[in-house]
Structure 1
Amino acid sequence: MDFARLFQSLCICLLTLDIQLFGLTSGANPEVEQHLEMGKKLLAAGQLADALSHYHAAVEGDPDNYMTYFKRATVFLALGKSRSALPDLAKVVELRPDFTAARIQRGSVLLKQGKYKEAKNDFETVLKTSPNNEEAKRNIDKIETIPPDIELAYRLVEEGNYGDAIQVLGGIIDTCPWDPTFHEIRSECYEAQGDLFKAASDIRQSTKLRADNTRGYFKLSSLHYEMGEADESLVQIRECLKLDPDNKQCFPHYKKVKKLVKLMTSAQESINNEEYDKCVKKAEEMLKVESLVHHYVSRAGQHKCKCYSKGGKVKEALAECTHLLKIDPNNLDALIDRAEAHIFNEDYEAAINDYQEASNIDGENRRVKEGLNKANKLLKQSKKRDYYKILGVKRNAKKKAIMKAYRKLAVLWHPDKFTTDEEKEKAQKKFLDIAAAKEVLTDPEKRAQFDNGEDPLDPEEQSGHGGNPFQQGFNPFGQGFSGGSFKFHFN
């Protein structure tokens, strides 16, 4: 409903009545007159709550003045409080039965509330004294269509013809928008069609129209939960508990949703903090709380796919991501995470395939673009030196493990251990590779370059980055090496 337009028309109505009835109210109590005047000014300024307080005072000061009741009813309607307006309109009709504006207003409110039989009585009463009243005739014509439409809507619902039922109910709701029953029936039809968003919209309206509507809040919370909107589900179930803290439907649902929201938040925080084992644990706990609703099962699987991949658990990551992609082949995050797992597993061609599929879904995605570029570089790089393979460590190895592998291999391939020139030459080449691997993998910046498919010690690749890396101080044999004769010491 357009409340701005309603407010404007009500203000005009009151101003007109003030002019018409000035002589009738001029002998009223001066204090009441003052409240009425202040109420009129505040109403014109749009300060409805303040205007209402003055009309309350006017009614108390002159309880037999039908105009004070009518004005207060008008403010109630402008505030959207139709239930509060009805008693005032009834009092006006009681005090002044021939007051056409009050009967029209009351009939309109009753009709909007779905009380069309009572509304019809008001409009027919108006027509007895004003046979040409267009508003009364127009509303009676609307009322005549309501009973057969209601009967038709119920029959269509029973037959399972939800589409036609929704169309018929829409017409009834246009005439009776403040009747929660028709919103609830239409919500059930939308839900039966699988349109949970529209179903929730109608139930939300019913929670505003029906007092103490715990059933409505539970239903609204359940619909948001089914849509995967756990946060909003939690908001609505709390509204139910405000009305009834021990509600047998709402309280168990509240505990479940609250726990699930907490686990989802914790899982995301674990990803942000790179605590990947904790992330997997939280995802598994999510599945224990909810194992049936697709949105949450999928979200838990997504977390496991990502965190296994980021944590270097390739086998688990590939299994989890592949399972998600069987359910939804267009799952962009699962494709990217599986591609990253393939990279960790050094299966660069498989990674490229996943990134290309992801690119077909969203070619402008930054992660897809960067990942595809990285995978292509790594495939090219794999045909050259692989520093991880040289030291025999995993791609996620810590610096301590890298240094341990380096020292072991350095001792094994120390050129002083070999006697013939051929053996020494082979050992020197091996030792150069071992030292280069240690140099790159223990330097965070160089390691990051290598992990992105770029060899920081390859002069060709570095030609655009400032020249030869050996000019930057890299000497695999230290100060003791000169012309094929060197000394090697460990600290």
Structure 2
Amino acid sequence: MESSGRNGVSGVLFSLSLLCVILDLQLDGVLGATPVEIEQHLEMGRKLLAAGQLAEALSHYHSAVEGDSKNYLTYYKRAAVLLAMGKSKSALPDLTKAIQLKPDFLAARLQRGNILLKQGSTQEAMEDFEAVLQRSPEQEEAQDQLTRTIELEELWEEAHAAHHRGDYSSTITVLERVIEISPWDPASRELRADCFIRLGDPQKAIQDLTPATRLRNDNRAAFLKLSLLHYSLGEHRESLNHIRECLRLDQDDKECFGHYKQVKKLSKQLDVAEELIQSERYQEAIDKYGSVMKTEPQIQYYTNLAKARICFCLVKIKEAHEAIDVCSEAHQRDPRNAQILRDRAEAFILNQDYDKAVEDYQEAREFDADSIEIREGLDRAQKLLKLSRKRDYYKILGVNRSANKQEIIKAYRKLAQQWHPDNFQAEADKKEAEKRFIDIASAKEVLTDPEMRQKFDAGEDPLDPENQQGGGQGGHAWPFHFNPFESGGNFHFKFQYN
């Protein structure tokens, strides 16, 4: 029995050993490659590289490296493709591997030194250039690059000294040369961005920080700065995009998460406020923009925007006096904003201050000469001003331009009773009353007729004979062609209240 057991164990062990051998052979068939196959991959890689088909060439070089991981040339050639694709970070490990396999491979050392110099790694770059010159003292490119490396170190010292003493303009000037030598160094761009921020030029700081985010594997600090800069400029959507990138790198980053919550809240409020305006829910939009100012009271852009949009909404709901106050404050905050001037002009029209409306529209046109809306608004305001110097039907009845038909009829009844000629005895008073009564009746006729009122609101007097075609025909010019008080003493007025 014992012998039988030992034989069984031996059989199992033999079977396992045989299985391992088979698996090894299968793996060799999958992972390994013959010299001929490797050469074919290298040749195809070369042809595809020459044809500019970089991705396809890279695939063949991957296969060549997997087939022979001890061949320094395959690593070097793959690095060349990666560099042609603009992937210098990925090329560095291949160049390093090629140098490890062949320490005297000067072409790889020179190429690696060039990449390290562009990345701003001066010490490592210097070692590569010196290694090349040690074996080949007359190598011109290595000599030139070593000189540039030494210059770069000196420039960095000069830039840091200027920055330390607060001379940010000089720092920027020095860093221009630094970036020319090492364009892939994020530190130089970040320092120059800091100088731009201190000099009050956030847009240029953004131009430096944007590429800096791609030059480090984990550049949360740059993403946070970018987000803060966009936020300060009122570009809340861009700010939100950048702060999300920071959180993708580390969702637990406290600074990024804190700023993310603020930007997200404000961005949502702004979007909702504009949606409310688009839906013509102006009072709700006013309330939402009030929330915007509470959410972000520190950055002037958002308060300015909120005031401007509230000004617009107040005009839409015809709150003339409040609109004028808010629009005036918004104009003080942003004097060159043509839209604010347009809205205040409309508020002045609502308040029947036509001369001020004309002034605002004229000023708005200076800032936006191509706006058809402003040009048409100015034309309308000028017509209303001209008309107001003749007679204003709203003023005659003592009602606002936003008055509805019921309010107009009520005002008409009151004034008609007050100025009815039968209420006066003296001839002079009676004639004055007749004149006033005709004006009151004219005002009621125009303002209770939608078509005539629309013409009047556009700056045209529909009862002015100059505006009547066909000698005043059309049924609306009777006050100028018929005076009931001149038809005899037996005429009596009958009030029409509908």
1:377 aligns with 2:383: yes
1:146 aligns with 2:152: yes
Name the structure 2 match of 1:387.
Answer: 393
Aligned length: 457
Residue from 276, 279, 284 that aligns with 1:270: 276
Tell me which amino acid in the other structure corresponds to 1:95: L
CA shift at 1:109, angstroms?
0.7
Name the structure 2 match of 1:193.
Answer: 199
State how 1:226-245 maps to structure 2 within 5 Å. 226-245=232-251
Task: Specify whether residues 469 and 256 from structure 1 end up closer, same or farther in structure 2 by C-alpha distance, changes over 3 A only.
Answer: farther
- Which whole-Å CA distance do the structure 1 matches of 2:260 and 2:364 have between them? 38
1:217 aligns with 2:220: no
Residue from 317, 324, 327 that aligns with 2:330: 324
* CA contact 2:296–2:302 (8 Å) conserved in 1: yes
Residue from 286, 292, 296 that aligns with 1:290: 296
- Which whole-Å CA distance do the structure 2 matches of 1:185 and 1:489 have between them? 81
* CA contact 1:187–1:203 (8 Å) conserved in 2: yes
Tell me which amino acid in the other structure corresponds to 1:116: T
CA shift at 1:451, angstroms?
1.5
Task: Specify whether residues 353 and 129 from structure 1 end up closer, same or farther in structure 2 by C-alpha distance, changes over 3 A only.
Answer: same
Residue from 75, 85, 100 that aligns with 1:94: 100
Residue from 343, 359, 362 that aligns with 1:356: 362
CA shift at 1:333, angstroms?
2.6
CA shift at 1:190, angstroms?
1.0
Name the structure 1 match of 2:81.
Answer: 75
State how 1:316-465 maps to structure 2 within 5 Å. 316-399=322-405, 401-402=407-408, 405=411, 408=413, 412=417, 433=439, 436-462=442-468
- Which whole-Å CA distance do the structure 1 matches of 2:40 and 2:407 have between them? 88
- Which whole-Å CA distance do the structure 2 matches of 1:283 and 1:391 have between them? 36
Write the deviation string for residues 29-71 of structure 1: whole angstroms up to 9, x where unpaired: 2332333334334434444333322222221112122222112
Write the deviation string for residues 381-422 of structure 1: whole angstroms up to 9, x where unpaired: 11333232344432123445445556x459848989989998
- Which whole-Å CA distance do the structure 2 matches of 1:33 and 1:431 have between them? 108
> Alignment RMSD, CA only?
3.2
Tell me which amino acid in the other structure corresponds to 1:385: R
Percent identity over paired residues: 50
- Which whole-Å CA distance do the structure 1 matches of 2:123 and 2:207 have between them? 28
Residue from 460, 468, 474 that aligns with 1:471: 474
- Which whole-Å CA distance do the structure 1 matches of 2:96 and 2:235 have between them? 44
1:279 aligns with 2:282: no
* CA contact 1:409–1:434 (8 Å) conserved in 2: no
Name the structure 1 match of 2:11.
Answer: none
Which deviates more from structure 2 when the two are superposed, residues 169-178 or residues 270-279? Answer: 270-279
CA shift at 1:193, angstroms?
0.6
CA shift at 1:425, angstroms?
8.8
1:37 aligns with 2:43: yes
* CA contact 1:344–1:395 (8 Å) conserved in 2: yes
* CA contact 1:343–1:375 (8 Å) conserved in 2: yes
* CA contact 2:114–2:125 (8 Å) conserved in 1: yes
Write the deviation string for residues 168-194 of structure 1: whole angstroms up to 9, x where unpaired: 122112111212112111111111111
Residue from 311, 320, 327 that aligns with 2:317: 311
- Which whole-Å CA distance do the structure 2 matches of 1:293 and 1:220 have between them? 16
Task: Specify whether residues 469 and 210 from structure 1 end up closer, same or farther in structure 2 by C-alpha distance, changes over 3 A only.
Answer: farther
Between structure 1 and structure 2, the one with the greater Rg is 2
Name the structure 2 match of 1:17.
Answer: none
* CA contact 1:114–1:178 (8 Å) conserved in 2: yes
* CA contact 1:391–1:409 (8 Å) conserved in 2: no
Tell me which amino acid in the other structure corresponds to 1:98: D
Which deviates more from structure 2 when the two are superposed, residues 382-391 or residues 439-448? Answer: 439-448
Tell me which amino acid in the other structure corresponds to 2:294: K
Q: What's the TM-score once normalised by structure 2's chain length?
A: 0.81
Q: Secondary structure at the match of 2:188?
A: helix
Name the structure 1 match of 2:10.
Answer: none
Task: Specify whether residues 272 and 448 from structure 1 end up closer, same or farther in structure 2 by C-alpha distance, changes over 3 A only.
Answer: farther
Which deviates more from structure 2 when the two are superposed, residues 241-250 or residues 367-376? Answer: 367-376
1:65 aligns with 2:68: no
Q: Secondary structure at the match of 2:254?
A: coil
* CA contact 2:122–2:153 (8 Å) conserved in 1: no
Name the structure 1 match of 2:261.
Answer: 255
Tell me which amino acid in the other structure corresponds to 1:290: E
- Which whole-Å CA distance do the structure 2 matches of 1:413 and 1:456 have between them? 25
- Which whole-Å CA distance do the structure 2 matches of 1:55 and 1:399 have between them? 84
Q: Secondary structure at the match of 2:465?
A: coil
Which deviates more from structure 2 when the two are superposed, residues 113-122 or residues 366-375? Answer: 366-375
Unaligned regions of 5+ residues in structure 1, if any? 1-26
Q: Secondary structure at the match of 1:97?
A: coil
Q: Secondary structure at the match of 1:249?
A: helix
* CA contact 2:409–2:497 (8 Å) conserved in 1: no
CA shift at 1:110, angstroms?
0.9
CA shift at 1:431, angstroms?
6.6
CA shift at 1:287, angstroms?
0.5
Q: What's the TM-score once normalised by structure 1's chain length?
A: 0.82
- Which whole-Å CA distance do the structure 2 matches of 1:425 and 1:387 have between them? 20
Q: Secondary structure at the match of 2:474?
A: helix
Which deviates more from structure 2 when the two are superposed, residues 266-275 or residues 302-311? Answer: 266-275
Write the deviation string for residues 290-326 of structure 1: whole angstroms up to 9, x where unpaired: 1111211211121122222333223322222222333
* CA contact 2:463–2:476 (8 Å) conserved in 1: no
Name the structure 2 match of 1:6.
Answer: none
